[in-house]
Amino acid sequence: MEKQFLINDFKMGESWRLFKIMGEFVDGVEALHDIGPAVSIFGSARVQPNHPRYKKAEKVAALFAKNNFAVLTGGGGGIMEAANKGAAEAGGVSAGLNIMLPFEQEPNPYANIKLEFKYFFIRKVMFVKYAIAYIIMPGGMGTLDELFEAVTLIQTHRIKPLPVILVGKDYWSGLFDWIKLRLLGDQMISPEDLDIFQIVEEPEEVVEAVKKMTLSQP
């Protein structure tokens, strides 16, 4: 395993690392540039295959594949594996954008497009650049990071607005209520910022929400 703390490791005279960064960007663009309309699906690597959330992620991805959307995931286990599996078994494009980590992250076998990244920020660009929607399944810190980065980029007009769909009312409602109470209540955000994302429950609702929002955009 290559040593961690890659960002901290930049030192004077190590500008050669920029070529590795450029190489990862080139690999990502070359692999994904003609992937077509795609959705990025995020969620925990720790969810087991017998868990209902795994099954739901599998079904969500299969429905997207059947509606001619490619599916992008982080390429690991848990929810990511479920989404890659659902898309692949439905005959769709199933891309896994794996990140090398000291724990948790092993590539799953279901992606039919496989990429491997050393740098989180390059991987994040790929998720945003090639997705027309973000689907946020239950997850931990990494999932929250992807969620709020997308919301921030939309809020600050750094990317075009795209649907950000939180799946699972039991999991996400508490967070949404806190955002309304604290962030909106203390005037840290504007009321319209709450419209950036929505919470849905059923797999069919996820796909319909994305189709409705993307078709309504100019």
Tally of domains within the chain: 1
| Domain enclosing residue 159, as ranges | 36-171+197-216
Strand partners, 197: 164
Whether 102 is in a domain gets the answer yes
Look at residue 3 in the predicted model and tell me its pLDDT.
54
Residue 165 has what DSSP assignment? Answer: E
Whether 110 is in a domain gets the answer yes
Q: How far is CA 183 from CA 40, 139, 164, 190, in A?
A: 26, 21, 18, 9
Look at residue 103 in the predicted model and tell me its pLDDT.
66
Q: Are 126 and 32 in contact (CB under 8 A)?
A: yes
Whether 212 is in a domain gets the answer yes
Look at residue 6 in the predicted model and tell me its pLDDT.
58
Look at residue 114 in the predicted model and tell me its pLDDT.
96
CATH number for 167: 3.40.50.450
Look at residue 1 in the predicted model and tell me its pLDDT.
47
Helix, strand, coil tally for the chain in percent (to 5): 45, 15, 40
Whether 6 is in a domain gets the answer no
CA distance 134 to 124: 12
Whether 178 is in a domain gets the answer no
Look at residue 18 in the predicted model and tell me its pLDDT.
86
Question: What residues contact 124, with CB distance under 8 A and at least 6 apart?
Answer: 146, 149
Backbone angles phi, psi at 73, to 5 degrees: -135, 175
pLDDT tens string for the chain (218 positions)? 455 555 566 565 567 778 889 999 999 999 999 999 999 999 999 999 999 999 999 999 999 999 999 999 999 999 999 999 999 999 999 999 998 876 656 789 999 999 999 899 999 999 999 999 999 999 999 999 999 999 999 999 999 999 999 999 999 999 999 999 999 999 999 999 999 999 999 999 999 999 987 766 65
